[in-house]
Chains A and B, each alone.
Chain A
Amino acid sequence: RKEVEQDPGPFNVPEGATVAFNCTYSNSASQSFFWYRQDCRKEPKLLMSVYSSGNEDGRFTAQLNRASQYISLLIRDSKLSDSATYLCVVNAMNYGGATNKLIFGTGTLLAVQP
């Protein structure tokens, strides 16, 4: 089982739609979770961190479900400029506990259509 799994998509949605991505992680002890955005052929950029209580940044809402080991990203009122690949990122664990190493999912491709 991969440490971080995402549906690769593509998710094709019309402008204005609400779209949600899920990501599952294998290590129940993982502590830090992030969503990164990557435009085609560009570098990844941090979109938002994911906190236990859930957090919102404008049209974007991230949530963490520790019991089921998944994190989600909800995008409301999709814009054409939201078209990108969204990477789920989790910190790695080892026998000593949490590490500073990040594990990246393979990404979910979102295409917002006019």
Chain B
Amino acid sequence: EAQVTQNPRYLITVTGKKLTVTCSQNMNHEYMSWYRQDPGLGLRQIYYSMNVEVTDKGDVPEGYKVSRKEKRNFPLILESPSPNQTSLYFCASKEGLGLSYEQYFGPGTRLTVT
């Protein structure tokens, strides 16, 4: 089954404790991205990657890191999480760069930083 998976689905952590949210897709998609969704703000892009070893900042990259060492994986790293990073995170992928390609989202990771 074609899908985007994320782990963990739920995470409660404390300020400053490094964490990684994994994202993997099995569709051989070139383009992957991370979003966060907050009430009243909609989905905002954190980082995106156009291919292996090619990543770039989105609208809200502060406090986050990403890597794309393999085509299928795009982990999101929070080196020192803070309470304002409490949010619902979605990983997404699509076949190519063009807007005609449908974007597929993972099931989401609900992160709480205390």
Contact = CB atoms under 8 A, between A and B. Distances in A.
A102 interface: yes
A106 B38 CA distance: 9
Contact of B41 (A32, A41, A106): A106
A32 B102 CA distance: 12
Interface residues of B, number: 22
Nearest to A32: B99
A100 B103 CA distance: 11
A105 B42 CA distance: 6
Contact of A31 (B42, B58, B97, B99): B99
Secondary structure dominating the interface of B: loop
A43 B107 contact: yes
B105 A44 contact: yes
Contacts of B31: 100
Interface of B: 31, 35, 40-45, 48, 58, 90, 97-100, 102-103, 105-108, 110
Given A43-B90, A98-B99, 19 more contacts: A4-B42, A42-B108, A43-B105, A43-B106, A43-B107, A44-B105, A45-B105, A46-B103, A87-B43, A91-B99, A100-B31, A100-B99, A101-B45, A101-B48, A101-B58, A102-B99, A102-B103, A104-B42, A107-B42
A-B pairs, 4 with minimum CB distance: A43-B105, A104-B43, A106-B42, A32-B99
Interface of A: 4, 31-32, 41-46, 87, 91, 98, 100-102, 104-107
